[in-house]
Structure 1
């Protein structure tokens, strides 16, 4: 217990935050397990039931929106919440400022990617967009709310915020780089329809989802900068979800491409 206290601020005096730390982790773990079982959040290559090799029936969707619009839905509310925190929760505390800045920069980058980098085909199920948007928005608000309770408290014995900054830079740059590789892969040429291909370059030569790996690094950097129980819970939950999503992605590529290299793992080079 003493070791845990050296890495974390004490639990906040908030039933909401403490309960959401548990509920959020459980919900993301459940979604990650659903991905492994074949019940996907329907966006990207998994928007159509026919895109997955699963055999169990899909739940009815509440309609479809364009992928570009859907992706903007995912990230814009969280970006606005993080940006508003500079005015709604003003503070001179360095750690709090770093948390606000990291969250705002992460989601601002995602919005820019949606507008200028990503290539689109098909649509996004409205119910999936709502689930992901709610998760990003609520987690951002609760992470900031949780950090507000740390003001005036004694710092954790082991200060991880500067290591968190390094991890944030590595994560956000690595994620951006591999998104650019994906966009180049799907660039429309000579009026031909955009089609999925086996990604190459960067860590794509060893894992099929390096963009997820670096996104996980980003969310663990949020925890290292903030060192709150809620940010730890969300980093763990995000990891479990993206582990499931990457496993499903590799399985999809194996089902669609006979020449998919078997040595390419899902998320961790040479391991998984």
Structure 2
């Protein structure tokens, strides 16, 4: 088996890092085109940029090929099952119960001569990811009220599956073989990360509850929208996107010393959620004349 990766800017050259980099650049450029360059919408560049960035309430003209936004639930059904299988696989590899690492084989990973980290951190992050996707599945099934008019493109739909498939191999890319890692012990960063993860998860869940209650209790019909109030909505238009990035940030605190690739995933999540937040923020301001003028899009008091 090969040993060692080639490194670029401190990150190993892997399939996942290549995809995170390409997608971050692609979405960043799409936002730049849509909101800074603003080409003619009949221009191929303008059409492509809008196609990549618009979905849900910000997608004004659904296309026949679009799929309902409520199909988000499909991502989380896959992610929960997949994460549980990966969790069992990684735990077994750490304990040396089996030697076959199907995750490494599928995603072209190999043992590295720069192996770092500990088993506790790997398993802890995998557990937190499984908790997060399970929470999202619960929210999609029992909390969120999706508009029948909210759509997403087939590209958004397919990318949702690919995204969750890429996360576990990103986690272990620099840690193989797992059974040779030290067991590890709880450090201060682990406690900070767990507390931060719980706070971010509460903000994330509470934001979805507030959005759902606009239609359940707030007088908005299923296919209409209102101005969300309370919680972190007093500060930003999309606190659920802000909290999602925080969740990945706190998992990064756990795993970063041994997995620099997690920074590529964190960068992607920051780019995509900041973009979506700014698009939603612009939509709110255009739709509601009474929208709070001091409310930011994504990051309280700043962005």
TM-score (norm 2): 0.72
- 1:145, CA displacement in angstroms? 4.7
Matched, 1:218 2:247: yes
Q: How far apart are 1:31 and its partner, in Å?
A: 1.3
Paired residue for 1:88? 89
Equivalent in the alignment of 1:43: 55
Structure 1 residues 194 and 23, CA gap change in structure 2 (3 angstroms): closer
* Contact 1:73 1:129 (C-alpha < 8 Å) held by counterparts: no
Q: Report the Cα offset of residue 211 of structure 1.
A: 0.7
SS of alignment partner, residue 160 of structure 1 = helix
Distance in 2, Cα, partners of 1:169 & 1:196: 29
Q: Which residue pairs with 1:111 in the alignment?
A: 137
Structure 2 gaps, min length 5: 35-49, 96-118
| Distance verdict in 2 for CA 1:65–1:22, change over 3 Å | closer
Unaligned runs of 5+ in 1: 1-11, 51-60
Distance apart, 1:82 and its partner CA: 1.3
Shift of 1:151: 5.3
Deviation at 1:79, TM superposition (A): 2.1
Structure-2 change in CA distance of 1:62 and 1:100 (3 Å)? farther
The TM-score with structure 1 as length reference comes to: 0.80
Once superposed, what is the RMSD of the aligned Cα atoms? 2.9
Partner of 2:13: 18
Change beyond 3 A, Cα 1:111–1:14:
farther
1:98 maps to which of 115, 119, 124 = 124
Describe the shift of the 1:49–1:173 C-alpha distance in structure 2 as closer, same or farther (beyond 3 A).
same
Once the two structures are superposed, what CA deviation does each residue of 1:63-102 show, in whole Å capped at 9, x if it has no partner? Answer: 123322x201222322222110132222353222211101
The answer to whether structure 1 residue 77 and structure 2 residue 78 are counterparts is yes
Q: Which runs of 4+ in 1 moved over 6 A?
A: 188-191
Residue matched to 1:125:
153
> What are the superposed Cα offsets for residues 21-40 of structure 1, whole Å, 9 maximum, x if unpaired?
24413412421442454424
* Equivalent residue in structure 2 for 1:259, among 278, 283, 290: 290
Partner of 1:138: 166
The change in CA–CA distance for 1:261 and 1:240 in structure 2 (over 3 A counts) is: same
Instruction: Provide Cα deviations, 1:207-232, integer angstroms capped at 9, x if missing partner.
Output: 10111111100011221122211111
- Separation (CA, whole Å) in 1 of partners of 2:235 and 2:81: 36
Provide the rounded CA distance (Å) in 2 between the counterparts of 1:166 and 1:101: 14
Q: Please report how far the alpha carbon of residue 180 of structure 1 lies from its aligned counterpart in structure 2 after TM superposition.
A: 0.5
Which structure would you say has the larger Rg? 2
Question: Matched residue of 2:152: which SS?
Answer: strand
State whether residues 245 and 270 of structure 2, in contact with CA within 8 Å, keep that contact through their aligned partners in structure 1.
Answer: yes
Q: Is the 8 A contact 1:32 1:245 kept in 2?
A: no
What is aligned with 2:105?
none
